[in-house]
């Protein structure tokens, strides 16, 4: 099957140390690719599915811990956990990619 697809948005963090409180939302601060307006909110760290965005979305998250263990969750509409990543130390990385069925206005954090 042949089709056309594109990355709607790819964001990252700038290099350096980033600390977050328990249950804090990661606010990515660097645009890599895509049209962010109004899909990704840099102030809240939440991605909102745009109009006509219904369907299957490929969502990927990667994290790296520093000198302490860390964990990260990916949630749809602030509810159930879709992904749970854990890294030990030092400088371990974890990645998870999933398909999510999303509708207009769904929020990923």
- The predicted pLDDT at position 1 comes to 40
pLDDT band at 7 (very low <50, low <70, confident <90, very high): low
pLDDT band at 75 (very low <50, low <70, confident <90, very high): very high
- The predicted pLDDT at position 24 comes to 84
Spell out the CATH class of 9-108: mainly beta
- The predicted pLDDT at position 36 comes to 57
Distance separating alpha carbons of residues 41 and 35, to the nearest angstrom: 12
Sort residue 29 into left (φ over 0), alpha (ψ -120 to 50) or beta: alpha
């Amino acid at each position: 099957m042949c089709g056309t697809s594109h990355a709607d948005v790819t964001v990252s963090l700038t290099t350096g140390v980033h600390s977050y409180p328990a249950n804090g939302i990661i606010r990515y601060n660097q645009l890599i690719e895509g049209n962010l307006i109004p899909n990704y909110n840099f102030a809240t760290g939440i991605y909102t599915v745009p109009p006509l965005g219904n369907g299957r979305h490929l969502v990927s998250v990667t994290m790296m811990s520093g000198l302490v263990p860390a964990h990260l969750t990916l949630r749809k509409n602030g509810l159930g956990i879709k992904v749970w990543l854990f890294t030990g130390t030092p400088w371990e990385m974890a990645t998870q990619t999933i398909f999510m069925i999303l509708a207009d206005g769904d929020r990923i954090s």
